[in-house]
Amino acid sequence: MTQLILFNVMNGLIIGAFYALMAIGLSLIMSLSDVINFAHGGFLAVGAYLAYSLAPYIGFWGGLLVAPVLTAILGLIVEKFLISRVYGRDPLYSLLLTFGLAFIFEDGTRYIWGAQSLPYQVPGWLMSPLSSSFFFLTGYRMLMIVLIVAVVAGLFVIMTRTRLGLRIRAGTLDLETVSILGVNVRILRNLNFGIGIYLAGLAGVLAAGQLGLQPTIGDSLIMPSFIAIIIGGLGSLTGTLLGGLLIGVAQGITTVFFPSASEAVMYVMMALVLLVRPQGLLGEEGRF
Amino acid sequence: MSGYALVAEGLHTYYGKSHILHGISLKVGEGKITTILGRNGAGKSTTLRSLVGLTPAREGKITVFGTETTKLPPYAIAEMGVGFVPEGRKIFANLTVEENLKVPVDRPGKWTIQTVYELFPRLQERRNNKGRQLSGGEQEMLSIARALLLNPKILILDEPSQGLAPLIVREVFRIITQMRAEGMSVLLVEQNVRMSLEVADWVYVLNDGEIAYSGTAADLQADEALLQSLAGVSAEKWEI
Ligand SMILES: Nc1ncnc2c1ncn2[C@@H]1O[C@H](COP(=O)(O)OP(=O)(O)OP(=O)(O)O)[C@@H](O)[C@H]1O
Ligand SMILES: [Mg+2]
């Protein structure tokens, strides 16, 4: 029983880390550009498929390194030529645009790589359990956790130690004032979008090794990611991280005791948070 | 008299459909303090926002040291050496003092984080405090320091003394005159008529989006009746 719980908590942490990666990117874009990026899951799929196609040439590790970067570059292009055009308009424009993009990504990947799911090759030694009593603890899962922790830590360093990060944080509060200080806010929003999409691309590559590849691979992650933002508090990176992990673990534990509720549990959590602390767990105070 | 740092001709500015500025023309003398006075809602802030590109004028022309800036975005105008201290200070409450000072782009010149700390020692003491923890006076200093880091040739301030204690107001005006002494051109919007007339070289009075008066500060100061009728100066404003 303990092992079963551990297994599911572990599962929950990993899925929660994916939610967090997605949610942090969504939250960065939402805070600085007022755009709810419904195409985020589509970018995740692009990252996964790019890694799949690159792996024969540059191997698993090369794909892991390069695919998220390529996805981020695609993000920079999409932001510059499409999304930036609806800034400052009614939010309906950006909703429709990113919704449309989500469909384009999904059908695009289906067209290029096919509708059937594809296996994603992870080096064999990563797939074997670390020990027989902890059969669920594979090297790949450890790798995912280490990578996600490292990337999130890196993001925190960017946000607190670099001028780019400071300007992004200042811009989430008051972009107009950032612009009168000589900062090109078009470029700032572009780079910020790229950072968010990098995280989605990385989530895609990592998810591919765990779940295999399908054009809809991002779909199951997007809703929990939005909820992670609400639970954690919009504008708080730490809160968003926490929100993602909490949802994942709660789902894992619910799977043990009340499997049919594992989907619903995050909505219950969201409702509770909205009732007790509408600004989210670390909202306002924690505003990064 | 030397040339002009900034020249605006016939500005018409709108918020959506409401027509706020009706052909504003003004000049900011190089190395001078130019003041804009006017009642609440006269369009002073809107004028400044048009000059710095935040609310671009729909008609008219703005030049900064001879280069046209009318259609430029705010960051490009800032990069030409136009520093702006906005109404309400607009400091970044979620950043520390020092982080606030790292937001502006570097333009070469005398002002660095170190030299603005020397100008405002209080900011150095508070360097690790968040913007939201600062008093009004400290916020004003931070807002001025932030603009100085651009090493501006023109400094534009929107009601810097608003809501500050008399002692701090004096300090703010001292800084403004110091900037002029260092060769900066200053455009100042103020409610504190007495203090601003004392430091200003040239005055504009704005009324309903139009220039109602333009002249030297000394002339306007000498004619209190005119001042009353133009700017609706209330008696309390003369205290301090
Ligand atoms: N964002 C806005 N949208 C619509 N109308 C606005 C906006 N900002 C200001 N106005 C209107 O434009 C007019 C001029 O406002 P402005 O802020 O320029 O005046 P002001 O002279 O700076 O006043 P104050 O002394 O109160 O700061 C006012 O009638 C105001 O109601
Ligand atoms: Mg004003």
Q: What is the CATH number of the domain that holds B223?
A: 3.40.50.300
Quick check: is B68 in a domain? yes
Quick check: is A203 in a domain? yes
- In this structure, what are the phi and psi dihedrals at residue B85, rounded to the nearest 5 degrees? -110, 100
Quick check: is A244 in a domain? no
- Mean pLDDT computed over A236-263: 90
- As for the ipTM of the complex, it is 0.92
pLDDT at A66 over 60: yes
**CB atoms B75 and A183 under 8 Å:** yes
Q: Chain A residues with CB inside 8 Å of B86's CB? A: 177, 180
User: For ligand 1, atom 5, which residue shows the shortest CA distance?
Assistant: B15
Quick check: is A196 in a domain? yes
- The tally of domains found in chain B comes to 1
- In this structure, what are the phi and psi dihedrals at residue A72, rounded to the nearest 5 degrees? -60, -40
- Mean pLDDT computed over B75-93: 96
Quick check: is B240 in a domain? no
Quick check: is A253 in a domain? no
Give residue B236's pLDDT. Answer: 43
- Indicate the DSSP class of residue A115: S
Quick check: is A255 in a domain? no
Residue B70: domain span: 4-234
Residue A158: domain span: 16-218
Give residue A107's pLDDT. Answer: 93
pLDDT at B235 over 50: no
Q: What is the CA A233 to chain-centroid distance, rounded?
A: 16
pLDDT at A286 over 90: no
Q: A 62-121 residues with CB below 8 A of B?
A: none
User: SS3 for B5?
Assistant: strand
C-alpha dist (Å) from residue B75 to A149, B60, B147: 36, 20, 12
pTM: 0.92
Q: What is the CA A249 to chain-centroid distance, rounded?
A: 17
Quick check: is A11 in a domain? no
A66/A68 Cα distance (integer angstroms): 6
**CB atoms B103 and A167 under 8 Å:** yes
Q: Enumerate residues lining ligand 1, CB below 6 A.
A: B 15, 18, 20, 38, 40-46, 87
Quick check: is B85 in a domain? yes
Quick check: is A258 in a domain? no
- The tally of domains found in chain A comes to 1
Who contacts A76 (Cβ-Cβ below 8 Å, separation ≥6)? A190, A191, A193, A194, A197
Beta bridge partners of B33: B186
Pairing of strands B154-158, B82-85: parallel
Quick check: is B239 in a domain? no
Give residue B232's pLDDT. Answer: 62
Give residue A182's pLDDT. Answer: 97
